């Protein structure tokens, strides 16, 4: 029993306590009047028998006042028969009846009654109610039986209004199973007169000064007195006391009252002895109740600010009631599902009306989702809780009506956005708008939905149906043990398709039932939406469902679906369950159909498909699979066996894609082939779905291929014709047939039988086509002819290819050991293992190669040996490794063939992934001479390019080529020997040897534009035991010029620095410009290192020169050169002088004067002529060297100047020699030498006479003309 109902019941019980006490006293009065004094014991016995309890009366007095009986009671107590428990206690009381009014009203009317210290004890039963322990019995007045009725309330109010009574210190003690609670009423008053009556009382918890409840009732008599009275009632109650009372009364109740704070007020109005109006007001600050679920977990429902207003009003033809309430729920108390705040869980407004046995209730809007979310907070019957959990209702009830009319229950509801989950056999879905009508066991639902609606048949379809629109009507009938639900005029827009139909569901208690569905389909798109979402896959066979889900798809312009699902009864044998029935008839376009697991799909299907339970049949007008077209096809699926047949028409590329997609062994061989052409034929397939390994496939074609290419080798077969047949039985499949075509410029025949081992190949090849295949067409003039070959492509556990040829008919104009005439045979053999990726090849005894692929990736390794046969271990890295040994290596002979091979290819070797190239030769040959041994090892650089280690008798060092750098080429030599390049018999000429006119200047060659920039460093240059160097140079090249800058060379004690520019001078010529600066000490050391006579010695040398000449740098000729020279020499001497001016300079040196007078010319013929400084500049033009200003030669005591020109081509001098010398020392000797002895003698005598007095400077000019070897010297003037 709910707590609130118990509170109301016991509240009315407390109000009736006074009347019950009066009734007991009245009974005692009647007995007292009938019994004489001294008969108290008999009275006690009668009361004990009446209440089955011990009764004790301390004193009893009865009598009459006029005609009104009265009674005085000393002390009354009732206890259980064993005396352990009190039942009723009265300290004292008195009673007087109004005899006349009692007779008039037909019931006892108390004139006056007064009670003191009355206590009623009630004990809680196992059912939660209050009673006296057996065998004691409560008075019937304290145990109202039957349901509450307004007439009964009116009767008891009328009875109370006729009484006059006072009561003081009235208590009711409720003894619970675990605790007790006691209420007390300090005073109860019932009083009045003929004009009015009044009743009031207060109730509180014992020990609590606050009033828990107070009641006041005011009554006015009607026209016939109190029989048609009018009254007003007001009752106020503080809800705090409910917690204590509920703790006792609600011990075993589902709900437990945890907290209650607030007030409740009740007003009532009676008119003509009947209740006409009642109102209720609730203001609750907080109300909290809780319960435990089946797992023992406690759930609490807490409400704040609970307000309610209600009214009950009697009318002429019935009654009406209104109620409006609201409450707030703290967030911590709300269910998690309320996070979205759907709406109110209960209606705010209620309206109820009735008339006799019929009534009707209408409510305002509320939210189903919110109401269902509170299911964990409120205890529900288990069956109802499971239903709510399963249905999980959501949506808004716009209006709800419920009542009892015409002898049956009726209901009406308007709902918006309703969603429910599937439950048992019934579908779920939503949101939908609904109108619901229910009458007894019948009902009707009309619904409509939009693009947000879904529909879910869990026992039929795999996933919810997403709807575009929906409408229809659903009816249900509950007829005894059977329930029936049917859908009519269902119209659904589903995934763009229109679906029209209906359904029926019949279920019964223990009896068989069924679910039926019929649908007409239009414009079904099972391409964008998977087919399994359109079909009732839940009732299909597992193998059929898996096959349909494996890609069956298409578009259905029109079709029909039929479904029947029988439902077994409780008594049916589980092993004898009825089977569902399903039918489908569809017109299909743009269809897809799987042939077998892992096999290509049939696509673009146009035809018709019929499915009757597990039997499927399809007619295919057109279909396509990876470009292979099929027509006049037939697909049949019966007894879990798939059969496909049809005609085929395919291009070569499409047929290749199809063969490569088949999940069979050997298909990898097709990956590296490409074809152009056409094939046509027929296909037959049979596949048991339970045993896919028993596949039987036959494809017969007639191939006509214009091109068949093996892409890794760019190998092309043309004009290929012949029959091809693919037969697949289980896991074994193979290709058979014979094809004829052309390969490498010659005929080709291929006999194919992969089931018996492979392909036999035979044909002839043209050298030109073979070179084109290898990308070496530039060798077409060196490799000519035609040769036969044969081969075998083995397809077994491993795929292998062997090619053999004698190469007879092939002429090879190549350096040894690769060259041969056409008539000579040289065996060529290539063995390839295509499965493991291995190649072994041999060309006679000259060349051997091997190659293998590395596991785990696309890398591979290859090795080539030329000139010598060796088989070392495989290298540790991927790529190609080439080792060549040639006893005599002629770069000129190999340059053209190598250029033909490398022509058009990446010079970096990236195409072959070269990792190392070794070349060794005992003789590096140039023309007919052997320059010496040569060894090189080339390896690719990590960032791109190559590194070459160079060694041999000619040079030693390295070469680095990095194409990504601004200077890609870097040559560093620690040693370079010129002895082999410049044999001993060849003498090094002097500068004057370059006078002869050279050939016409050559243009700038085209290779200059491709020359990568770089630098050259040579530590030592060796020539006949002499060492030059180091030499350093950097260069940059463009199509217009080659610039070498800076250029540096150290020769002896002289360092040369400068630059050299070689540039185009029109399309037919070129020009070379050089700028050099010589800086150092002794110039003679440089001449000695260059194998020249040291004609000059110097302590300091500085020379600047600029030269330009037409043609290449090695076409230097003085006759065509022009430029300038500036020189400065210090502290040196001219040695071994052949020039007359130089000799004259030496003779005039004052330091040698004494030696000259003694006729001692050893310095002229031995050590040469000394000087302190030589400075001058000259211009070279047209083969002549002309001084630019005088050349000054400063000796220890004499200064000389030279001014003139030298005809280099004729080797003649035309110069003026100027001598500046002191007269006292140098002039006499000069005069003697020049042929003027008289003047010389005079001057000599004068010098002796006057001493230093004639110590002045004198200048003499000489003219030097004639050939270099014997010039003519004459004095021109003297100053």
Please write the tens of the pLDDT for every residue from 1104-1122. 999 999 999 888 887 888 9
From residue 472, give the alpha-carbon distance in Å to each of 445, 1138, 1248. 8, 133, 157
Percent of the chain scoring above 90 in pLDDT: 15
Closest CA to 537 of 463, 475, 465: 463
State the Cα–Cα distance between residues 656 and 1004, nearest whole angstrom: 55
* pLDDT for 970: 95
Q: Average pLDDT, stretch 1003-1016?
A: 91
Give yes or no for residue 226 having a pLDDT over 70: no
State the Cα–Cα distance between residues 167 and 19, nearest whole angstrom: 11
Q: Which of 531-540, 790-799, 832-841, 961-970 has the highest mean pLDDT?
A: 961-970
Residues 6+ apart with CB under 8 A from 1063: 1004, 1040, 1041, 1042, 1070, 1071, 1073
Residues 6+ apart with CB under 8 A from 711: 672, 673, 674
Q: Which of 228-232, 487-491, 713-717 has the highest mean pLDDT?
A: 487-491
* pLDDT for 938: 93
Beta-bridge partner residues of 158: none
Report pTM: 0.50
Q: Identify the residue with better confidence: 1246 or 778.
A: 778
Other beta carbons within 10 Å of 1153: 19
* pLDDT for 1270: 76
Residues 6+ apart with CB under 8 A from 542: none
CA angle 1174, 1176, 1180 (to 5 degrees): 135
CB-based contact 359:404 (threshold 8 Å): yes
State the Cα–Cα distance between residues 736 and 756, nearest whole angstrom: 9
- 3-class state of residue 406 by DSSP: coil
- 3-class state of residue 105 by DSSP: helix
Q: Average pLDDT, stretch 1174-1178?
A: 94
Q: Average pLDDT, stretch 981-1007?
A: 66
Give yes or no for residue 944 having a pLDDT over 80: yes
Give yes or no for residue 1147 having a pLDDT over 60: no
Backbone phi, psi, residue 537, to 5°: -65, -20
Beta-bridge partner residues of 1218: 1201, 1261
Backbone phi, psi, residue 957, to 5°: 160, -150
Q: Are strands 879-885 and 860-866 parallel, antiparallel or unpaired?
A: parallel
Tokens linked to 1107: 């030269």
Closest CA to 410 of 387, 434, 442, 433: 442
Tokens linked to 230: 């009018």
Q: Average pLDDT, stretch 1168-1177?
A: 86
Residues 6+ apart with CB under 8 A from 672: 710, 711, 712
State the Cα–Cα distance between residues 142 and 15, nearest whole angstrom: 10
Q: Which of 399-413, 482-496, 546-560, 923-937 has the highest mean pLDDT?
A: 923-937
* pLDDT for 1243: 39
Distance from the Cα of residue 1113 to its chain's centroid: 64
Backbone phi, psi, residue 1154, to 5°: -60, -40
Q: Average pLDDT, stretch 537-564?
A: 78
pLDDT tens track for 393-419: 788 888 888 888 888 878 888 988 888
Give the mean pLDDT of the chain: 78
* pLDDT for 604: 86
CA angle 485, 491, 494 (to 5 degrees): 110
From residue 762, give the alpha-carbon distance in Å to each of 154, 739, 748, 787, 802. 123, 11, 6, 12, 11
Give yes or no for residue 665 having a pLDDT over 70: no
Percent of the chain scoring above 70 in pLDDT: 78
pLDDT tens track for 803-812: 899 999 999 9
Q: Average pLDDT, stretch 766-776?
A: 79
Give yes or no for residue 1156 having a pLDDT over 60: no
Q: Average pLDDT, stretch 822-837?
A: 88
Give yes or no for residue 784 having a pLDDT over 60: yes
Give yes or no for residue 1075 having a pLDDT over 60: yes
Q: Scanning the structure block, which residue is given the tokens 């009532």?
A: 268
Q: Identify the residue with better confidence: 1243 or 76.
A: 76
Q: Average pLDDT, stretch 664-684?
A: 79
Extended beta strands in 293-337, E state: 298-314, 319-328
Q: Average pLDDT, stretch 233-262?
A: 75
pLDDT tens track for 1224-1259: 444 444 443 444 333 344 334 434 443 443 344 467
Q: Average pLDDT, stretch 307-336?
A: 76
pLDDT tens track for 32-69: 554 445 567 877 887 788 788 888 888 878 777 777 78
Other beta carbons within 10 Å of 15: 20
Q: Identify the residue with better confidence: 28 or 1006.
A: 1006
* pLDDT for 1030: 94
- 3-class state of residue 1009 by DSSP: helix
Tokens linked to 557: 């312009």
Q: Is 360 left (phi over 0), alpha (psi -120 to 50) or beta?
A: beta
pLDDT tens track for 3-22: 444 444 545 555 555 555 55
Q: Are strands 68-73 and 76-79 parallel, antiparallel or unpaired?
A: unpaired
Give yes or no for residue 929 having a pLDDT over 80: yes
Q: Which of 110-124, 282-296, 435-449, 1073-1087 has the highest mean pLDDT?
A: 1073-1087
* pLDDT for 838: 87
Q: Which of 168-177, 1147-1156, 1171-1180 has the highest mean pLDDT?
A: 1171-1180
Q: Average pLDDT, stretch 837-864?
A: 85
Distance from the Cα of residue 593 to its chain's centroid: 31
CB-based contact 559:608 (threshold 8 Å): no
State the Cα–Cα distance between residues 105 and 118, nearest whole angstrom: 28
Backbone phi, psi, residue 655, to 5°: -65, -40
SS3 for 485-505 is EEEEEEEEEECCEEEEEEEEE
* pLDDT for 1120: 85
- Residue 394 belongs to what H/E stretch? strand 394-405
Q: Is the peptide bond before 443 cis (omega within 30 degrees of 0)?
A: no
């Amino acid at each position: 029993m709910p707590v609130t109902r118990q509170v109301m019941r016991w509240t009315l019980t407390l109000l009736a306590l006074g009347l019950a006490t009066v009734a007991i006293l009245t009974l005692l009065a009647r007995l007292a009047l009938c019994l004489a004094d001294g008969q108290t014991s008999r009275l006690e016995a009668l009361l004990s028998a009446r209440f089955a309890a011990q009764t004790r009366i301390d004193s009893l007095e009865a009598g009459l006042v006029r005609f009104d009986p009265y009674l005085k009671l000393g002390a009354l107590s009732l206890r259980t028969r064993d005396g352990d428990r009190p039942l009723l206690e009265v300290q004292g009381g008195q009673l007087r009846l109004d005899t006349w009014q009692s007779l008039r009203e037909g019931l006892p009317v108390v004139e006056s009654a007064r009670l003191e210290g009355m206590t009623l004890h009630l004990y809680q039963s196992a059912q939660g109610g209050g009673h006296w322990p057996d065998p004691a019995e409560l008075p019937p007045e304290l145990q109202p039986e039957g349901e509450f009725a307004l007439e009964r309330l009116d009767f008891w109010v009328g009875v109370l209004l006729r009484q006059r009574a006072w009561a003081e210190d009235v208590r009711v003690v409720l003894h619970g199973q675990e605790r007790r609670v006691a209420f007390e009423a300090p005073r109860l008053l019932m009083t009045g007169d003929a004009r009015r009556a009044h009743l009031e009382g207060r109730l509180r918890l014992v020990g609590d000064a606050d009033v828990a409840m107070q009641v006041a009732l005011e009554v006015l008599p009607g026209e016939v007195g109190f029989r048609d009275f009018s009254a007003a009632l007001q009752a106020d109650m503080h809800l705090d006391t409910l917690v204590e009372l509920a703790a006792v009364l609600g011990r075993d109740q589902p709900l437990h009252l945890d907290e209650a704070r607030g007030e409740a007020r009740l007003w009532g109005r009676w008119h003509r002895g009947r209740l006409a109006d009642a109102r209720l007001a609730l203001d609750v600050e907080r109300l909290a109740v809780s319960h435990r679920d089946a797992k023992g977990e406690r759930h609490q429902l807490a409400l704040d600010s609970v307000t309610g207003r209600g009214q009950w009003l009697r009318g002429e033809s019935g009654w009406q009631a209104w109620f409006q309430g609201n409450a707030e729920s703290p967030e911590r108390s709300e269910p998690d599902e309320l996070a979205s705040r759907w709406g109110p869980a209960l209606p705010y407004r209620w309206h109820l009306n009735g008339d006799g046995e019929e009534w009707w209730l209408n409510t305002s809007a509320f939210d189903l989702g919110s109401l269902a979310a509170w299911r964990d907070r409120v205890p529900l019957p288990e069956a109802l809780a499971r239903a709510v959990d399963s249905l999980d209702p959501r949506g808004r009830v716009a209006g709800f009506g419920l009542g009892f009319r015409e002898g049956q229950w009726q209901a009406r509801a308007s709902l918006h956005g309703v969603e429910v989950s599937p439950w048992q056999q019934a579908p779920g879905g939503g949101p939908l708008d609904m109108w619901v009508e229910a009458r007894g066991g019948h009902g009707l639902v009309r619904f409509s939905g939009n693009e947000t609606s879904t529909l879910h048949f869990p026992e039929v379809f795999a996933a919810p149906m997403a709807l575009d629109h929906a409408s229809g009507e659903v009816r249900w009938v509950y007829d005894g043990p059977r329930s029936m639900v049917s859908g009519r005029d269902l119209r659904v827009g589903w995934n763009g398709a229109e679906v029209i139909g209906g359904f029926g569901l019949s279920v019964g208690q223990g009896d068989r039932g069924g679910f039926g569905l019929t649908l007409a389909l239009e414009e079904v798109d099972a391409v964008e939406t998977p087919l399994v979402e359109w079909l009732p896959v839940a009732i299909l066979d597992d193998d059929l469902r898996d096959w349909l889900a494996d890609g069956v798809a298409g578009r259905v312009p029109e079709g029909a679906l039929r479904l029947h699902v029988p439902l077994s009864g409780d008594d049916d044998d589980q092993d004898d369950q009825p089977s569902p029935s399903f039918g489908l008839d569809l017109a299909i376009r743009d269809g897809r159909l799987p042939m077998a697991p892992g096999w290509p799909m049939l696509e673009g299907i146009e035809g018709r498909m019929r499915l009757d339970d597990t039997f499927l049949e399809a007619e295919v007008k057109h279909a396509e699979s990876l470009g292979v077209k099929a027509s006049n096809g037939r697909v049949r699926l019966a007894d879990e066996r798939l059969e496909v047949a049809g005609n085929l028409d395919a291009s070569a590329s499409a047929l290749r894609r199809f063969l490569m997609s088949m999940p069979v062994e050997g298909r990898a061989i097709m990956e590296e082939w490409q074809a152009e052409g056409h094939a046509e034929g027929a296909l037959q397939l049979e596949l048991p779905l339970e045993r896919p390994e028993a596949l039987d496939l036959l494809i017969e074609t007639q191939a006509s291929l214009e091109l068949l290419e093996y892409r890794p080798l760019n190998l092309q077969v043309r004009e290929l014709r012949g029959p091809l047949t693919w037969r697949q039985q289980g896991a074994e499949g193979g290709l058979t047939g014979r094809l004829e075509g052309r390969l490498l410029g010659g005929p080709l025949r291929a006999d194919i039988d992969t089931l018996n081992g492979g392909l036999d190949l035979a044909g002839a090849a043209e050298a030109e086509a073979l070179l084109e295949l290898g990308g070496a067409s530039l060798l077409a003039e060196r490799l000519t002819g035609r040769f036969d070959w044969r081969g075998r492509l083995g397809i077994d556990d491993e795929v292998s290819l062997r090619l053999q040829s004698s190469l007879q008919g092939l002429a090879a104009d190549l350096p040894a050991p690769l060259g041969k005439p056409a008539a000579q045979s040289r065996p060529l053999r290539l063995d390839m293992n295509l499965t493991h990726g291995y190649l072994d090849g041999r060309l006679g005894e000259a060349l051997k190669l091997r190659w293998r692929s590395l596991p785990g990736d696309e890398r591979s390794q290859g090795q080539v040996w030329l000139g010598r046969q060796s088989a070392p271990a495989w290298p540790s890295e991927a790529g190609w490794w080439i080792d060549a040994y040639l006893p005599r290596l002629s770069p000129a002979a190999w340059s053209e063939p190598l250029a033909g091979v490398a022509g058009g290819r990446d010079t970096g070797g990236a195409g072959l992934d070269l990792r190392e190239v070794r070349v060794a030769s005992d003789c590096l040959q140039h023309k007919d001479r052997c320059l010496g041994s040569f060894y090189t090892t080339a390896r690719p650089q990590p960032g791109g390019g190559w590194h070459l280690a160079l060694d041999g008798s000619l040079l030693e060092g390295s070469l680095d080529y990095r194409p990504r750098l601004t200077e890609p080429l870097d040559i560093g030599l620690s040693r370079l020997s010129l002895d082999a390049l410049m044999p001993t018999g060849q003498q090094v000429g002097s500068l004057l040897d370059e006078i002869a006119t050279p050939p016409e200047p050559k243009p700038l060659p085209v290779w200059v534009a491709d020359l990568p920039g770089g630098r050259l460093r040579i530590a030592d240059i060796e020539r006949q035991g002499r060492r030059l160097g180091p030499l350093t140079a950097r260069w940059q090249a463009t199509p217009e010029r080659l610039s070498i800058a800076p250029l540096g060379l150290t020769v002896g004690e002289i360092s040369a620095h400068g630059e050299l520019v070689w540039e185009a001078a029109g399309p037919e010529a070129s020009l070379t410009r050089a700028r050099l600066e010589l800086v150092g000490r002794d110039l003679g050391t440089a001449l000695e290192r260059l194998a020249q006579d040291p004609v000059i010695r110097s302590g300091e040398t500085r020379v600047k020169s600029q030269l330009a000449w037409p043609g290449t740098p090695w076409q230097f000729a003085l006759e065509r050169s022009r430029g300038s020279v500036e020189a400065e020499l210090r502290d040196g001497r001219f040695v071994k002088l052949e020039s007359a001016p130089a000799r004259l300079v030496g003779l005039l040196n004052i330091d040698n004067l004494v030696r000259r007078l003694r006729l001692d010319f050893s310095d002229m013929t031995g050590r040469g002529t000394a000087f302190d400084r030589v400075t001058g500049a000259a211009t070279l033009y047209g083969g002549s060297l002309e001084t630019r200003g005088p050349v000054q030669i400063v000796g220890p005591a004499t200064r000389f100047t030279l001014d003139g020109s030298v005809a280099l081509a004729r080797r003649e001098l035309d110069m003026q020699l100027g001598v500046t010398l002191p007269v006292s020392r140098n002039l006499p000797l000069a005069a003697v030498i020049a042929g003027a002895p008289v003047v010389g003698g005079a001057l000599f005598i004068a010098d002796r006479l006057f001493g230093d007095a004639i110590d002045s400077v004198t200048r003499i000019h000489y003219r030097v003309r004639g050939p270099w070897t014997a010039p003519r010297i004459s004095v021109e003037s003297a100053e």
